[in-house]
């Protein structure tokens, strides 16, 4: 049985931020950075779909980390292993296929997520055609 972490009565660093974000967690995320990014979108009024599968007719193209399907905007969270030459080539081919289908692909590395979150949010908002931080 899984134990639940209680935040009741805690006052350590970052606890307020955690309390605000916990109700927005979604079990479909496949990594912590995906969860962090999705929750930050939701707090700004944007609601991406986690793990959206994209097809070209009957042919599978990709499963996107986060997607705004109607606008065809994909947000991909790339950890360090994406720097591996074989993985980088696979990613490039996959993203080229998505772009050929009309998708805008925005790549968010761990460094961008940690150090440039507001820029990432502004880039996605621009791709969606909304003001940064405001849902359409």
> Domain limits of the chain?
15-128
**pTM, to two decimals:** 0.74
Burial category of 70 from C-beta neighbours within 10 Å (exposed 0-12, middle 13-18, buried 19 and up): exposed
Digit-coded pLDDT (tens) for 49-91: 999 999 999 999 999 999 999 999 999 998 766 578 888 999 9
CATH superfamily, domain at 15-128: VSR Endonuclease (3.40.960.10)
């Amino acid at each position: 049985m899984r134990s639940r972490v209680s935040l009741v009565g805690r006052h350590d660093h970052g606890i307020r931020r955690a309390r605000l974000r916990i109700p927005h967690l979604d079990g479909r995320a496949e990594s912590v950075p995906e969860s962090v990014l999705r929750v930050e979108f939701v707090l700004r009024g944007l609601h991406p779909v986690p793990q959206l599968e994209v097809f070209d007719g009957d042919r599978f193209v990709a499963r996107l980390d986060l997607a705004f399907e109607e606008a065809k905007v994909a947000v991909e969270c790339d950890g360090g292993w994406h720097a591996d030459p074989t993985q980088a080539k696979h990613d490039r081919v996959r993203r080229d296929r998505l772009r050929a289908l009309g998708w805008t692909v925005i790549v968010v590395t761990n460094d961008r997520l940690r150090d440039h979150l507001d820029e990432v949010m502004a880039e996605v908002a621009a791709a969606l055609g909304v003001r940064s931080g405001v849902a359409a």
